[in-house]
Amino acid sequence: METAVLTFFNGISYGMLLFLIASGMSIVMGLMGIVNLAHGALYMVGGYVGWTIAVQYDLNFGLAVFLGGCAGGLTGLILERGFLRRLYKQPNEQVLLTFGCIYILSNLCMWIWGPRRRLQFTGEFLSGLIHIGGIPFPMTRVFIIITGILVAIGLWWMQDRTRLGAMVRGGMDDKEMTMGLGINLERVSMLVFFLAAFIAGIGGVVGAQLLGVYNWLSTDILLLALVVVIVGGMGSVQGALLGGIVIGLIDTAFKTLLPQFSMFTIYLAMIIILMIRPSGLLGRRV
């Protein structure tokens, strides 16, 4: 029983981490039509900056999360303003450019922080375990789950309940009409891209509690993020959340129960889901 509960808990926390990684990518891909393969690199930059704040300077972990988010957001902003805004609706060029950015950002991080992997870190208040019904739950994982829920609520509210969300959705459906209404769509796009990169940066620090930070993290993360986005459905916060949880639970359950098959289970799950729903669990129907 304890193993089943722990597996479920580990799966949910891992799924929430996947959601934090993939949500920004899903929004940018689905709402703005930008394939940003460097999204994992923004996650990595956030993680490194968070490590510098929390471990190197021994400052508050909350501050590390915030500044990690800012670092990811600013790097994303440079990427969007400097390059991607010239490549709207050119997916091939976007893929090539952002894939190249992965190498550039990874090597920049290696120059700044060196090749050594930075170990897991967390705040003092998050160390230790809480026991529920005699079963130990690490506080770091509880924190990941709470952060994931808060980000999911915030993004859903922004997407479905705010003027900004309406402008973004309007821009995607009919760009000319939206601009004809006097909406500065370029500024809206910039804001959305910054927000997505900011969440990636936050995810980098929150995720470092489990994974640490290292300079090829961006490519490790990229594959997982793509799987979550595809399974959940592009452009949907709820889809990214559901995709993250489904993949997290499947991956964790198979590693626990049938570890010999765990290498390919998430890809198998992706194939089956796409056969049933080609646009993902909550994506727009193809």
| Interface ranges with another protein (CB under 8 A) | 3, 6-7, 10-11, 14, 55, 110, 114-120, 129, 136, 138, 140, 210-212, 214-216, 220, 251-257, 259-260, 262-263
Tokens coding 281: 């669990």
Q: Which is nearer to another protein, 127 or 184 (CB)?
A: 127
Least distance from another protein to the Cβ atom of residue 227, Å: 13
Q: Which is nearer to another protein, 91 or 136 (CB)?
A: 136
Distance separating alpha carbons of residues 28 and 74, to the nearest angstrom: 15
Least distance from another protein to the Cβ atom of residue 14, Å: 5
Least distance from another protein to the Cβ atom of residue 39, Å: 16
Distance separating alpha carbons of residues 87 and 77, to the nearest angstrom: 14
Q: Taking the C-alpha atoms of 8, 10, 12 and 18 in order, what is their torsion angle to the nearest 10 degrees?
A: -150
Q: Side chain identity at 234, as an amino acid letter?
A: M
Least distance from another protein to the Cβ atom of residue 119, Å: 4
Q: Taking the C-alpha atoms of 46, 52, 54 and 58 in order, what is their torsion angle to the nearest 10 degrees?
A: -170
**Other C-beta atoms within 10 Å of 282: how many?**
19
User: How many residues make up the chain in this entry?
Assistant: 286
Q: Which is nearer to another protein, 129 or 150 (CB)?
A: 129
| C-alpha 285, offset from chain centre | 23
Q: Which is nearer to another protein, 6 or 108 (CB)?
A: 6
**Other C-beta atoms within 10 Å of 275: how many?**
8
Tokens coding 100: 């190249």
**Which letter does DSSP use for residue 128 in this model?**
S
C-alpha pair distances (Å), 195 with each of 27, 92, 244, 262: 10, 24, 19, 33
Least distance from another protein to the Cβ atom of residue 186, Å: 37
Q: Which is nearer to another protein, 93 or 220 (CB)?
A: 220
Q: Which is nearer to another protein, 6 or 77 (CB)?
A: 6
Tokens coding 208: 């470092």
Least distance from another protein to the Cβ atom of residue 17, Å: 8
Least distance from another protein to the Cβ atom of residue 262, Å: 7
Backbone angles phi, psi at 90, to 5 degrees: -125, 75
Q: Which is nearer to another protein, 118 or 195 (CB)?
A: 118
Distance separating alpha carbons of residues 269 and 247, to the nearest angstrom: 8
Distance separating alpha carbons of residues 180 and 172, to the nearest angstrom: 14
Q: Which is nearer to another protein, 178 or 252 (CB)?
A: 252
Least distance from another protein to the Cβ atom of residue 281, Å: 22
